[in-house]
Amino acid sequence: MNSNTRSNPNLRILHLEDSTLDHELVKRELQRAGASFEICRIETLESFALELRSDNFDVVLADYRLAGFTALNAWELMQDRHCRIPFVLLSGAIGESAAVAAIKMGISDYLPKEDMGKLGRVLERAIEMHRIQMDKEATDTELAASEQRLADFAEHLQATIEQERAAIAREIHDDIGGSLAAIRFDLSWISRHSTEPAMLSHLAAASDMLSHALNASQRIMMNLRPAVLDQGLVAAVEWLATSFTKRTTIPVAIRSPQNFERLPKTVQLTAYRTTQEALTNIGKYAQCTQVNIELSDAKGVLTLEVSDNGLGIHEHDLTKTSSFGIRGLKERARTVGGWLDVSSMPGLGTTILLSIPIKPLEDDQVKGFNT
């Protein structure tokens, strides 16, 4: 065994063997290999179960056939006890198929007794591979926990953003909207009490600017807090499509079922924001002449598909680190248990597909939309 194994002064071996001679051969071989070890021999399954409770062993070394049971019975007992230590078979000829079956079950290694000279290396390898596996499992567990924390943070962040948007929309409505309405009344009063052409001309220009400001504030409020969702997802998507066509002159065709499944507010908002982001990207980059939006709720899954016939997206654009729009949509979909796929080919357009499983709802889950 190499220096790493020699540095461990107490390699603890649980030896499942009913032959005293074979046990002595094992001890002699380990001594010849320069290992510092402690070895405990047992012969019965009951003794094996008792020794497992002590949790004092680094490796199990077992003969395949013993009186009344086999090493596989011992292995199954370890699994029932959730005992995670390397398990090495050291036996006579058990046949290739039996050895392969044992390895497939999870047994660490198999060594024929005629190859006893390799025992030190086999034990060392089994212990090292077990350590690597345990480290990997610990790393995977930590990674999964980290990913869950990230997903929870993303969900919290999305909720916080929507709350801030709603608060800003209320401030625009209460403060700016109220002030603009008051200005409209004042301009109307001045218009009724003035006959000077220059004054009336300025009043007309001011009224036009006021109407523009009112329309802009209403549009901003709608983007910040989609109150149109109170009328349902289909109505909200139709409003987005109409606004998009007015802004870009690009026609949008919408297909959706007449009787749509009731949806949680969070699912509606996710579908709405996905449509909003998709249309924004299409307006900026696609250079298309047609957009199609399809909504369905078949088989308990909400499906939203937004496609265009534009320039398409290169694969490297989808994977580059600055592609926060698509990445953000995927994270938003994940927060409601869904997923989002993007398919595109240069010159053949782009399709964004959102899928979210729909769970049965209580009435209070769909009343109002106060994000």
Whole-number pLDDT of residue 259: 75
Q: Give a yes or no: residue 222 inside a domain.
A: no
Taking 80 as the threshold, does the pLDDT of residue 318 lie above it?
no
Q: Give a yes or no: residue 211 inside a domain.
A: no
In a shared domain, residues 25 and 132: yes
Domain count, the chain: 2
In a shared domain, residues 231 and 361: yes
Q: Which of 34-38, 183-187, 322-326, 352-356 has the lowest mean pLDDT?
A: 322-326
Query: Token pair of 108, please?
Result: 């660490």
Tokens 């997802």, located at residue: 233
Q: Give a yes or no: residue 201 inside a domain.
A: no
pLDDT tens by residue, 334-354: 888 999 999 998 888 999 999
Last residue of a domain, one of 138, 172, 189: 138
pLDDT tens by residue, 118-129: 999 999 999 999
Query: Token pair of 110, please?
Result: 């198999």
Can you give the CATH number for the domain in which 252 is found?
A: 3.30.565.10
Whole-number pLDDT of residue 351: 95
Can you give the CATH number for the domain in which 28 is found?
A: 3.40.50.2300
- List Cα–Cα distances, 342 to 284, 298, 307, 350, in angstroms: 17, 20, 10, 7
The residue type found at 61 is L
Q: Give a yes or no: residue 175 inside a domain.
A: no
Last residue of a domain, one of 122, 138, 154: 138
Query: Token pair of 212, please?
Result: 């523009």
Helix (H, G, I), strand (E, B) or coil at 94: coil
What is the pLDDT of the chain when averaged over all its residues?
86
In a shared domain, residues 134 and 242: no
Q: Give a yes or no: residue 159 inside a domain.
A: no
In a shared domain, residues 371 and 235: yes
Q: For residue 18, what is the enclosing H or E element?
A: none
Whole-number pLDDT of residue 364: 46
> Over the range 18-38, which residues count as b (16 or more CB within 10 Å of their CB) and which as e?
eeeebbebbbebbeebebebe
Q: Cβ–Cβ contacts within 10 Å for residue 285, how many?
A: 15
In the chain, the percentage of residues whose pLDDT exceeds 90 is 44
In a shared domain, residues 133 and 248: no
Last residue of a domain, one of 138, 165, 192: 138
In the chain, the percentage of residues whose pLDDT exceeds 70 is 91
Note the Cα 358 to chain centre separation in Å. 18
Give the domain extent around 244.
227-371
**CA 214/CA 229 separation, integer angstroms:** 21
Contact 58, 14 (CB under 8 A): no
Is this structure's pTM higher than 0.75?
A: no
In a shared domain, residues 7 and 126: yes
In a shared domain, residues 244 and 112: no
pLDDT tens by residue, 251-291: 999 999 877 768 888 899 999 999 999 999 999 999 999 99
Taking 80 as the threshold, does the pLDDT of residue 151 lie above it?
no
In a shared domain, residues 250 and 118: no
Q: Give a yes or no: residue 194 inside a domain.
A: no
Q: For residue 50, what is the enclosing H or E element?
A: helix 45-54
Q: Give a yes or no: residue 318 inside a domain.
A: yes
Whole-number pLDDT of residue 323: 59
**CA 234/CA 272 separation, integer angstroms:** 9
Q: For residue 46, what is the enclosing H or E element?
A: helix 45-54
Q: Give a yes or no: residue 288 inside a domain.
A: yes
Taking 90 as the threshold, does the pLDDT of residue 148 lie above it?
no
In a shared domain, residues 256 and 122: no
- Total number of residues shown for the chain: 371
Max avg pLDDT among 92-96, 195-199, 255-259, 336-340? 336-340
Whole-number pLDDT of residue 361: 58
Whole-number pLDDT of residue 73: 92
Taking 60 as the threshold, does the pLDDT of residue 363 lie above it?
no
Residues ≥6 apart with Cβ < 8 Å to 54: none
Whole-number pLDDT of residue 320: 62
pLDDT tens by residue, 208-235: 999 888 888 877 877 777 777 888 899 9
Q: For residue 250, what is the enclosing H or E element?
A: none
Give the model's confidence band at 1: pLDDT under 50 very low, under 70 low, under 90 confident, else very high: very low
Taking 60 as the threshold, does the pLDDT of residue 241 lie above it?
yes
